[in-house]
Chains A and B, each alone.
Chain A
Amino acid sequence: GAVVSQHPSRVICKSGTSVKIECRSLDFQATTMFWYRQFPKQSLMLMATSNEGSKATYEQGVEKDKFLINHASLTLSTLTVTSAHPEDSSFYICSALEGRRGGEQFFGPGTRLTVL
């Protein structure tokens, strides 16, 4: 149990296009999901906290108009990278908070975004 999926696992897009990444909690409800970004050989950096039914909370330095987050249901949060540029190329990982297990976070497998 407690599985989190991400789709797509890998995406390549042209500069200027928008890309949507989905994060789903498959067997539990998650009122809170977190979005992280991981650059090569670096740690995961928190981008934003996504709460079901309310606006996401963004970390300092993360452009909310560029990284749109929608948490419309208890099992789905989406991250849309708008007008993507090569510097947005990265590994994006989400985690979902499973409240019944003492608040443990379960991580998705990540999405590799490459912007040409």
Chain B
Amino acid sequence: AQSVTQLGSHVSVSEGALVLLRCNYSSSVPPYLFWYVQYPNQGLQLLLKYTSAATLVKGINGFEAEFKKSETSFHLTKPSAHMSDAAEYFCAVSESSGNTPLVFGKGTRLSVIA
């Protein structure tokens, strides 16, 4: 079975500050890991995904995440927060690169303060 834990249901940062959203996973098979962003009243948009290639994954909008097997983590970072980054972020794990269902974390709401 697979599971995801997102630490912190709400994270607040100042504009221009570092964004760090934490995600830890549990998987009995080599995992595929994803970060999605959800803006109000919109669907989930893929930010980035790890598919067993490079451990440091770069995504859209300046986000990146690093896969650390020893820590079973896949934390999402962005060097400088922008107001438009305020949204709900979901970490997810899957047994494949996308054609199997995703197991989601509970989500982290990111607020950006001017």
Contact = CB atoms under 8 A, between A and B. Distances in A.
A41 B106 CA distance: 7
Contacts of A106: 43
A107 B37 CA distance: 11
B101 A46 contact: yes
A9 interface: yes
Per DSSP, chain A at the interface is: strand
A114 interface: no
Contact of B97 (A42, A102, A108): A102
Nearest to B42: A109
Given A41-B9, A43-B90, A43-B107, A105 B41 contact: no
Interface of B: 4, 9, 36, 41-46, 90, 96-99, 101-107
A102 B106 contact: no
B106 A43 contact: yes
A103 B97 contact: yes
A107 B99 contact: no
Contact of A109 (B9, B41, B98, B106): B41
Given A9-B41, A103-B96, 4 more contacts: A42-B106, A43-B90, A97-B98, A103-B97
Contacts of A90: none
B98 A103 contact: yes
A104 interface: yes
A69 interface: no
A95 B43 CA distance: 9
Contacts of B43: 4, 6, 93, 106-110
Nearest to A4: B43
Tell which of B90, B96, B104 has the most Cβ of chain A within 10 Å.
Answer: B104
Nearest to A47: B101
B91 to A, nearest CB: 9
B9 to A, nearest CB: 7
A67 interface: no
22 contacts: A9-B41, A34-B102, A36-B104, A41-B106, A43-B4, A46-B101, A46-B102, A49-B101, A95-B102, A97-B98, A97-B99, A99-B99, A102-B97, A102-B98, A105-B102, A107-B36, A107-B43, A107-B44, A109-B41, A109-B42, A109-B43, A110-B43
